[in-house]
Structure 1
């Protein structure tokens, strides 16, 4: 009696759904899947269990990590709101005590209070406050233009630029629980999570040009960051260029400061 032959690939059945044919194997664990439990993440096929793993869909894990969580901009706006409320209350109290309601201080006080209230709503996470915050510096610019002249207009441009940056910030959108595209998540993940050691080494290398004691630290961080680079990993580890640049700049700083201290020490010894 001849031994049983294994079923052909087209006849293989899914372990979880025997009535369905196998479509392929999970990229991560190798488990066979059918059309019911196949998940595609970044062009690769996974079983439904592995597709939920943070290392596989790292962008979704990034989104969930910061979903509803306050970012640095939110805290900065919250502190600014407290300052505006205090300034507005002082200006209004001063105007009421002096009974000079025609003074521009009354208008500026009301504007500060409104800006403070919008800032508090922004800190709390009220959806309307994201857009309302953009109008606060615009209204302030218009009022300042009438009360203080052209100089105030020049100073008022920067707050508008900052509020627009906050409005378009991916982390801030996640705090307000707004849907963000995978492209925006990819850019934010690269900024905040992709090979942070290499990034730190690159940034420290510039400081090392001014502060020599930072050169060994930046050099070590850049070397470690370069060793971690793996574009084919999941998630990918990049910043190879920054790591190499950090090594070069740190080495130049180390040699330069070493030569400077060496020459200084030699002069002292030869006196």
Structure 2
């Protein structure tokens, strides 16, 4: 009985060892490195929330809580986009007959690229709150641009669906489906483009200007780079002559 149990344990150990070696091989390869790099791109900005360096490339966290959190959100969004782009590339390269892999992979890469535009816009806009005049307008405009790009991606997907089925008995159905998808993409593109044009210099400009006042005011009241160090140091006690959130920034002047 003990011999059988020992054999079982030994077999299980050997299986785990083999699986571990296989996983290690995958992680050391190009696919694994791309995966771990994408995961790091998502986790690093999250880890930087509330820190002066923000966990961002170059060690710049924006100097205040609003910019810091916004850069983290932008970094996570860009990290997810990068991971999606990598995944899309892997899907597109899969040996699947009929071109389905390329169709799906291309769509994933397209959506990821649009998401990356949004992430970059958040970082460039709200990520610089307190140091630029129009953080809200830049963020909203970039997001609208990302939406317009998404419409283009959807339109391309519709055209690809129609093309993929053109030489098959399903051509009437795929043509109708592709046309409907392309039409939906055109609508999304129009909406995104209109919103982008209206944000800066358009009908939405008064709204973004009001948001800029609120955002930059909140950024000024929540400094991160200060003598006391970190968010709590500046936000609670305030040592820079302007005071912090609970000290003298919003509620009075420093004596």
TM-score in terms of structure 2 length: 0.25
Going by fraction, where is strand more abundant, 1 or 2?
1
Between 1 and 2, higher relative CO (CA 8 Å, sep ≥ 6) is seen in 2
Going by fraction, where is helix more abundant, 1 or 2?
2
